[in-house]
Amino acid sequence: MKLKFAPKEERFFELFDNAAKNVAKGADLLVDLVKNHDRAEELSNEIEQVEHEGDITTHEIADRLNRTFITPFDHEDIHDLAGRLDDILDNIEATADRMYLYEAGEPSPEMVNLAEVLADATKVVVRAVHGLKDMKSARRILDYCIEIHRLENIGDEQSRRALAKLFKGPDALHALKWKEIYDHVEEAIDLCEDVASIVESIVVKHT
């Protein structure tokens, strides 16, 4: 079904598009950061900037939600979707921050892989969220969601192996630091899956 949206509703889609694209931008910067440890400071600052922009979009969505009675989908779904997108970016920012703060040293190949899985997942999140504007393409939106679940499984497997390698030692403090950092990337990937679940439930309600 092709829904006709009023201008006020159109604005929600624009904001969600921006929020999702911003998340993907943050994830790309994180990949750059873990691959270019010498540019850590510059890239961390860029991630922080992207995170601030994300906050502004999240607040605009929340404001509009409070002032708008008729919204393109349930108030609660809009609230949750905006919240989860914001949480992904918070975890991306925390990942970058902890690497710097703990003086954790050169990222491992496992860390690079994890960041790349996250970046891939956020790119599919952009497509899934964009798809919500046109429920005619419900099948395609759900396919994006399946792809996000697939990437989350890959991320799970990779962080499982990354942790195993870390725990082999010999440096327990190094293991402690990187466990914290891996946890933030893994949380960001899990949150992409939460976004997929919210998108799925919106699609199911509207088709």
Q: Are 78 and 61 in contact (CB under 8 A)?
A: yes
Rounded to an integer, what is the distance from CA 107 to the centroid of its chain?
Answer: 20
Whole-angstrom distance, CA of residue 195 vs CA of residue 207 = 18
Q: Which of 101, 106, 109, 139 binds a second copy (CB under 8 A)?
A: 101
User: Is residue 146 involved in binding a second copy (CB under 8 A)?
Assistant: no
Task: Tell me whether residue 3 or residue 176 sits nearer to a second copy (CB atom).
Answer: 176
Task: Tell me whether residue 8 or residue 179 sits nearer to a second copy (CB atom).
Answer: 179
Q: Are 32 and 39 in contact (CB under 8 A)?
A: yes
Task: Tell me whether residue 139 or residue 161 sits nearer to a second copy (CB atom).
Answer: 161
What's the min distance (Å) between Cβ of 80 and a second copy? 14
Part in contact with a second copy (CB under 8 A); list of ranges 8-16, 78-86, 96-104, 111-119: 96-104
CB environment 156-175: b (16+ within 10 A), e (fewer): eebbeebbeebeeeeeeeeb
User: Is residue 179 involved in binding a second copy (CB under 8 A)?
Assistant: yes
Q: How far apart are the first and last CA of the chain?
A: 7
Taking Cα atoms as reference points, which of 144, 148, 132, 135 lies closest to residue 12? 132
What's the min distance (Å) between Cβ of 179 and a second copy? 7
Whole-angstrom distance, CA of residue 167 vs CA of residue 62 = 42
Characterise 169 by phi-psi region: left (phi > 0), alpha (psi -120 to 50), beta (else).
left
Q: Which of 15, 62, 65, 163 binds a second copy (CB under 8 A)?
A: 163
User: Is residue 167 involved in binding a second copy (CB under 8 A)?
Assistant: yes
What's the min distance (Å) between Cβ of 130 and a second copy? 26
Part in contact with a second copy (CB under 8 A); list of ranges 37-45, 80-88, 97-105, 132-140: 97-105
The residues that touch a second copy, with contacts defined as CB under 8 A, are 97, 101-103, 160-161, 163-164, 167-170, 172-173, 175-177, 179-180
